[in-house]
Structures are given as structure tokens and as C-alpha cells.
Amino acid sequence: MAATSDPVAHAALRAAAQPGQAADAVHVEVSLPGEVADVPVTGEDADGSGEELDDRKRAVLRAIVTEYVSKGEPVGSKRVVDVARLDVSAATVRNEMSALESLGYIAQPHTSAGRVPTDKGYRRFVDDLRTDPALDGPRRELVQELLGGATDVEDLLARTSSVLSQLTRLVSLVIAPAVDTARLKLCELVGLGPGAGLLLLVADTGRVEKRSVELPPETTETDLDRVRTVLAEQVRGRRLGEVNTTITAIAEDAPSELREVLRAVAEATAPRLAEDTVHHVFVGGQASLAGDEAFEREHLSRVLQLIEERVTLARLLADATADDHPTVRIGEENEVEDLRAASLVAQRYQLVTAGSLGVLGPTRMDYATVLATVRAVADQLQATLTDLSR
């Protein structure tokens, strides 16, 4: 285990987190100060497992999870006694473990091997993490420094994705906030050739939408100029979500020679959900997924494919971040078949509307650290975002 503050590693990370660059990753340690916060780590909200575990069982489970996560091998009763610093014998722990197994929290890969946490075990472990883990100071400052350098929202989100994947060594996902309520700063129609046009929409967040427009072939340059003027006058300043209806309305009232052109423009602004989201999911750290032994080949390929598609993933992430609390979806809790062996840790962030961010990795991940990191990055993202839009 690396030291918590290693200047070399920090420097490497600092250099690496420029989007589009890469470097060997950095191991993250997290301090778990005693401050018990009241913020619960929400999840599926315990199916029927209200069954209370006594302190010792919880300690045993915690020991098994942390040990298994860090070592990757099934852990036996003896080791549990060691790491959990329990003042009882291994035999007692064995009894506890037996109980935990019949409750479904742990399982053994084969008779007479150690125990391994089940999805339910991880879930319980995460739910019991009431101590709100915080990222250590240096790392927190690092995140702040890296995100602070962003020039606009898009750049910021790209950096966020990069930081997140570097810190966690997992696949990072960042979805831009829905911008329906963002104000249009520019609405321009550019002619590219006979019958082909390009509509540019620029929001005050710095987001640029471009849509190709199929113009009626007989459209003249003068027509375009007139349309341009109309758009500039009537559309600028509107909310992005209103654009389509606004232009459609304009088209109906327009002089007949412009009507077709405006209809084409309106057509181009029709919401196309898939494409809209595809372009605004930032993904990073796919390579680390391949390096992770916890995933076997089969899953790896499936998960990568899912990542490549983006749209499913975007929906998933959005679904997972319904409220302000960090959310953890563990293994089977994911509805998507291909994510059976994976966990998702996600959190919402707010600007005017909410965006979400998170990481995806094998169920065998260091939930405490990951949660701390996701939370810290989300907070910092939100702060920088607020800064940026003043």
C-alpha cells in the first residue's frame, strides 16, 4: 500500500489529468475520520434484510469485505480475527461466519475455502458505511486544482471524467446537465452548399449543438439571410427546451417562401434523445478495466461494448441518481444483464438542472474510497460549475 501523500505520484497525476493524456495511475488512500454524518448511503433500500446484525457480525462482515477487496482471495476465520482485532477465537468467528453465510451475506467458492462477500454482503457493507468517508486533504486539493483550470463547461466535464478515472482506477462516467433551461446565446444557420445547411445553437453554458439541416434545393442566399435574421431576433435568449416549438410556430406565421426553410430548421431541432445524450457522456479509464483481474474476459468485452454504446449507460446513470445522495448499485442490482458482475457508484450534481457522474467497476471494489472520491469530485464539480457560470 502506497503512502497517502506521495509527491511524485501527485505530480504524475497532475500531469496526467489533462484530458487526452495518460499516465500510470495513483493509488488512492482515504481517511475515514470519525465524524459520523447522518447522510445515508442510499441504495435499493434493503429488500427485506431488516434482520439486525449484532456488532460482532457486522465487524466480521466488514473485515471480510475489506480484506477480500484488497487481497482478492477468499478470507478465512483466522484472518478475520487478525484484521478485525476481535478478542475471540477463530472458532467463534467461524460460527459467526456460518451464520452470515446462511443469511446470504457471504459465500464460499468451494468447501473449505475462505468466504467471499456476496452482492448482498457488499450491499450491507455499504449501507453500514454511515460514517461519511471524506477524501484526504491533499487529494481534495488536487481535484480542486485540476478542475479549477477548466475554461468552459465542456472542458470541465472532460477533466472531471479524467480525474475520476485516474483517482479510482475505474471507468468514469460524467453526464452533462440537461440544458433545457439554458439560454440560447446564438442561433445561426450556415449554408454549406445547395440543399445543405448547418444549424448552430450555442447555450450560455458554452455547449454547442450542431444539427444538419436539409434545405429545400431552391433556397437562395437571400432566403437564408432572412431566416437568419428571424432566428436571431426571435430565438436568441430563449430556453433550449423551447427552441423547437418556437421555431415551429415561427414557420407557420412566416411568409410562404421562407416557410419550407423554417420547417426544415424546426425539423432539425426536434429532440433526438439518443444523439443528444451520446454526445454528452464523458467516459474515461477503459484501460484500467482491462487491467483489473476481477473481471474475466467475457464480462470485460460485454461491459466495454456497453460503454461504447453510451446511451444505455447514460440512462442507467441518470436513473441511478434520482436524489442528492450518492447511490451504489451492486452486481445483480443492476437491471442490465451485462452489468451483473459490475457495480456503479454515482452521484448527482446540480447546476440549474442536474447532471450525474459516477464510476463503473467490478463488484469487488473499494467502496469506501470510491464513495469518498465520487462525492468529493461531485462537490468540486458543482462548485467549479457555479463559479464558471457566476
Partner DNA sequence: GCTGGCACTCGCGAGCCAGGTCTGCCAGGA
Partner DNA sequence: TCCTGGCAGACCTGGCTCGCGAGTGCCAGC
Binding residues for DNA, rule: CB under 7 A, are: 56, 74-79, 87-92, 94-95, 97-98, 101, 108, 110-115
Q: Considering CB distances under 5 to 8 angstroms, the limit depending on partner class, which of its own copies, DNA, none binds residue 2? A: none
Binding segment for its own copies (CB under 8 A), chosen from 3-11, 125-133, 299-307, 346-354, is: 299-307
Give me the DSSP letters along 163-196.
HHHHHHSSEEEEEPPP-TTSBEEEEEEEEEETTE
Binding its own copies (rule: CB under 8 A), the pick from 107, 108, 286, 325 is 286
Rounded Cα–Cα distance for residues 40 and 329 (Å): 14
- Measured from the CB atom, the residue of 63 and 176 that comes closer to DNA is 63
Q: Which residues contact 101 (CB under 8 A, 6 or more apart)?
A: 107, 108, 115
Q: Does 202 bind its own copies (CB under 8 A)?
A: yes
Closest separation in Å from C-beta 81 to DNA: 9
Indicate which of DNA, its own copies, none lies near residue 22 (CB less than 5 to 8 Å, by partner kind).
Answer: its own copies
Task: Using alpha carbons, select from 337, 38, 19, 33 the residue that is nearest to residue 164.
Answer: 19
Min separation Cβ 65 and DNA, Å: 14
Per the listing, cell 473481471 goes with 295
Q: What is each CA distance from 51 to 48, 60, 105, 252, in whole angstroms?
A: 8, 16, 12, 64
Per-residue contact track with its own copies, 139 to 178, x per CB under 8 A? ------------xx--x-----------------------
Q: Are 156 and 99 in contact (CB under 8 A)?
A: no
Distance from C-alpha of 259 to C-alpha of 265, rounded to nearest angstrom: 10
Binder among 305, 350, 353, 386 for its own copies (CB under 8 A): 305
Q: Which is nearer to DNA, 70 or 89 (CB)?
A: 89
Which residues are CB-contacts of 243 (< 8 A; sequence separation ≥ 6)? 184, 187, 201, 235, 269
CB of 56 to DNA, least distance (A): 7
204 binds its own copies (CB under 8 A): yes
In 3D, which of 384, 387, 385, 378 has the Cα closest to residue 321? 378
Min dist CB 80 to DNA, Å, is: 8
Cell of residue 308, nine digits = 461504447
The contact set with its own copies (CB under 8 A) reads 19-22, 151-152, 155, 185-186, 188, 190-194, 196, 198, 200, 202, 204-206, 208, 210, 212, 214, 274-275, 278, 284-291, 293, 297, 300-302, 304-305, 307-311, 388-390
